[in-house]
Structure 1
Amino acid sequence: MFPFLSCFSGSRRRERKCLLEKEENAKYLDRYPSWDGPENSLILQAFEWHMPSDKRHWNRLKRVLSEWQAIGVDHIWIPPGCKGMDPNGNGYDVYDLFDLGEFEQKGSVSTKWGNRIELEEMIRQAKSLGVNVIWDAVLNHKAGADYPEEFPAVAVDPRERTKEISKPFEIQGWTGFDFSNRRDQYSCMKYHWQHFSGVDWDQKREKNAIYKIAGPNKNWAPDVSNENGNYDFLMFADLDHSNPEVRNDLLHWGSWIAESLSLSGMRLDAAKHISTRFQKAFVEHVRDQVNPKFFVIGEYWTGNLYDIHEYLEKLDYQALAYDVPLLRKFSSISHSAKSDLRGIFEGTLVQSRPDHAVTFVANHDTQPGQMLETPVACSFKLLAYSLILLRKGGNPCVFFGDLYGIRANVEEPMKPACDGKLPILMQARKNYAYGEQENYFDQPNCIGFVRHGNAKHAGLVCLISNGDPNNKRMFIGRQHAGTQWKDILGYHRTSVVIDKRGYGNFPVNATCVGVWVDSAAVGKDGLPGTLDLNIYGY
């Protein structure tokens, strides 16, 4: 496990402990090279599940990019912009990977998000601001076939997919894809039943089940999650990544879209359902053909840390993964009165592989009503975001629905999270969260840490309570003696003065966070204004 830094105030014993832990960290990172990314990089997931189906989202993003860049966002994760079977769908029901809102297919030219011209204009605007774009790639399945085909299949037990519960028989599945209105532009590949592993609908009998396609060299991919025996099949028509034609078409698509849109990276949707050998080949291909620094985030959704490590190993650590164990910790602790905060990072990816962990508090799959709903109590979100945005380690991702609220197409609208202070935390990461980190994880319900800053950044103090009001004496450094530190979140009006030994006594309110910065640095950098919450356009 990656050693968890826990240096407390004291004299030589504290310094010796820090030194030993740094040596252990160095040994670890020698064994597992760190991910090459910019310091304090910040991802914003630039959508939520219930965004309006107004085909104006690319224009919406273009309008707010400068605001996001100003508060520290340098990567935006955008939704699947390929044509789905439903023109109002979010794109995870992917029909044609090569149609980015350019062809009249499935009843529309545009996708739910807009057309290709608007997409390209938005990305050009992002690039001009130094904001990179992460594409959400749906490579597990296809949906909305143009016609059904007959082929042999066997029904399998949905709870144990390796168990066949029928003999081979002829079914009729929706597996014929012609993309006729695209007229072979960008790719001449047509998809038929041979290109898939399984389907979930037999049109002949009008019956829903999981059918594994039968025939020579037909089976579930062996290098996927072993949930349900084998978790290759997820939904719709499941692509067979061992088929050479499928493999070549998807590799071609990867380099085509990365180059056409000047993408910096991709999120691989449903990664635990896709052959890891194929995923590794996909990353290597795009890096070789387009961009050697192209990066990938695998959506390998599991709370089992061992399984996430195994996934990353199979990809030779050429990808990042979501820290689902940490999210589940946030959710559990947030709903338990005064849970012990000291072990909040134990058993998480950010503790064991910080450079390969994408840390988050919510996303489109975990928001209310979704299949992977993992609720973090509203009162705890400020605490959770402080822990992922202001500490060393991890690649934090902020959720659109937390930044702006969720107001469209829901029965119970949600206000912006963190009492509206999430933009301040984001800009605090950009301006102050640098340098060595000293942890004060010494009380069950009140923890804190100091970022000591560097030559360009002043550093900060963060104090977190999930219980009663509290305070903590924390070491800032003798060079700061006499300076006044301000709570930039605005919960305390009185400054903390650093004493001659370099210590300050910092307070925090009940179930709250205090983020303290040298007043001189705040005067120099300023604080963000409020975001335009009218991003929805109504």
Structure 2
Amino acid sequence: MAGCSGSENGNYDYLMLSDIDFRNPFVKEELKRWGEWFYETVGVDGFRLDAIRHMDPEFYNEWLDHLRGKYQKEFYTVGEYWVPYDLQSILTYIEATNQRMSLFDAPLQGNFYKASKENSDFNLCTIFDDTLVQSYPQLAVTLVGNHDTQPLQSLEQTVEAWFRPLAYALILFRKDGYPCIFYTDLYGTKYKDTGNDGEEHEITLEKIDKLEVFLYVRKHLSYSQQNEYFNHPNCIGWTREGDDEHKGSGCAVIISNGEEGTKTMSVGAKHAGKKFVDYLGNVSDEIVIGEDGSATFKVSGRSVSLWGLKNN
């Protein structure tokens, strides 16, 4: 993998015993032909590029330009440059590839992991600090976990179960980022693998309760202007005012990593007099939006509430 862009452990030149010289013109031409064959055979719309920090970014510049130019297609592309607490390396890669591809927001996933471990000691107002979605929202693919971060895997950094719904709210209902849903969080999983102790362990990961509701709110309610209320270390919120194109759209999201809380937020004057309910059922109250478009929304302790129009 000559020509790597990372600096860890001598660039991991023999990652998984693979040593491919991306400076060799014959190698590059063969991989271009493979890209053509793959598109013409399968008809893909884009690519997910694995372990890109172990490969020469100049190769991907040339490879993507070739395919996009030949077929006159965007080929939406996301790369895995996994450095959870090193935003600068990710930004350097974006510069080296001149924004040709999106990247997974590993620093944000790292923040989710820390927040889930630190409980109420974590300041939720800082959850987006030093993340890709904060720096380059148009290139950030946001996620809560993946096959590498789950227990017993190579990059184990599993977000605790109580915080995962909060994390999904943070990637699904905001205007920035391109959210990615982990299959296991939607369906659950059970598997066996060997731990660092050399022993085999059986892991069960439960599906996130009502994640389908999250996806409904994302698709139908989370549109238009975003108003932020990041003004308390343990209770944050934001609203989306909705638009005319999506009937009944508009929502309020409130998150707590400590005790139950409330937050007065505006969903826009066009919602005045309407009744909002928590689509997750974590709070049973009905809230009537005031004449100015504001209301005081509630959240239970260590929880999230998704407030939207009743009977929508």
The structure number with the bigger radius of gyration is 1
How far the C-alpha of 1:440 sits from its partner, in A, is 0.5
Where in structure 2 are the equivalents of 1:257-336 lying within 5 Å? 257-302=38-83, 303-336=85-118
1-side partners of 2:119 and 2:94: how far apart? 35
> 2:111 is aligned with what amino acid?
K
**Is 1:224–1:231's contact at 8 Å kept on the other side of the alignment?**
no
**Is 1:224–1:232's contact at 8 Å kept on the other side of the alignment?**
no
Where in structure 2 are the equivalents of 1:447-526 lying within 5 Å? 447-457=236-246, 458-520=249-311, 522=312
Q: Which moved more, 1:286-295 or 1:426-435?
A: 286-295
- Is 1:373 aligned to residue 156 of structure 2? yes
> 2:36 is aligned with what amino acid?
S
Which of 186, 200, 208 in structure 2 is aligned with 1:403? 186
Aligned with 2:231: secondary structure? strand
How far the C-alpha of 1:409 sits from its partner, in A, is 4.2
- Is 1:343 aligned to residue 113 of structure 2? no
1:49-72 residue CA offsets vs partner (Å, 9 max, x unmatched): xxxxxxxxxxxxxxxxxxxxxxxx
The runs of 5 or more residues in structure 1 that have no matched partner are 1-196, 198-219, 523-538
| Residues paired across the two proteins, number | 300
Which residue of 2 is the match for residue 353 of structure 1?
A: 136
Which residue of 2 is the match for residue 363 of structure 1?
A: 146
Q: Relative contact order, CA 8 A, sep 6+: which one is greater?
A: 1
1:197-232 residue CA offsets vs partner (Å, 9 max, x unmatched): 6xxxxxxxxxxxxxxxxxxxxxx42x5212223333
2-side partners of 1:437 and 1:328: how far apart? 24
1-side partners of 2:67 and 2:227: how far apart? 39
> 2:162 is aligned with what amino acid?
S
How far the C-alpha of 1:237 sits from its partner, in A, is 3.0
Pairwise CA RMSD: 1.4
Q: State the percentage of identical aligned residues.
A: 40
How far the C-alpha of 1:478 sits from its partner, in A, is 2.5
**Is 2:190–2:205's contact at 8 Å kept on the other side of the alignment?**
yes
1:226-249 residue CA offsets vs partner (Å, 9 max, x unmatched): 222333331223111111221111
Aligned with 2:162: secondary structure? helix
Aligned with 1:442: secondary structure? coil
Give TM-score scaled by structure 2 length. 0.93
Give the structure with the higher percent helix.
2
The runs of 5 or more residues in structure 2 that have no matched partner are 194-201
**Is 1:342–1:443's contact at 8 Å kept on the other side of the alignment?**
yes
> 2:23 is aligned with what amino acid?
S
Which residue of 2 is the match for residue 441 of structure 1?
A: 230
- Is 1:432 aligned to residue 215 of structure 2? no
1:164-190 residue CA offsets vs partner (Å, 9 max, x unmatched): xxxxxxxxxxxxxxxxxxxxxxxxxxx
How far the C-alpha of 1:291 sits from its partner, in A, is 4.3
Runs of 4+ residues over 4 Å off in structure 1: none
Where in structure 2 are the equivalents of 1:21-60 lying within 5 Å? none
2-side partners of 1:486 and 1:291: how far apart? 46
1:474-501 residue CA offsets vs partner (Å, 9 max, x unmatched): 1122222211001111112221011223
1:90-112 residue CA offsets vs partner (Å, 9 max, x unmatched): xxxxxxxxxxxxxxxxxxxxxxx
Q: Which moved more, 1:374-383 or 1:256-265?
A: 256-265
Give TM-score scaled by structure 1 length. 0.54
Which residue of 2 is the match for residue 15 of structure 1?
A: none
1:345-391 residue CA offsets vs partner (Å, 9 max, x unmatched): 01100001001001000001111110101111100000000000001
**Is 1:437–1:449's contact at 8 Å kept on the other side of the alignment?**
yes
**Is 1:366–1:375's contact at 8 Å kept on the other side of the alignment?**
yes
**Is 1:326–1:359's contact at 8 Å kept on the other side of the alignment?**
yes
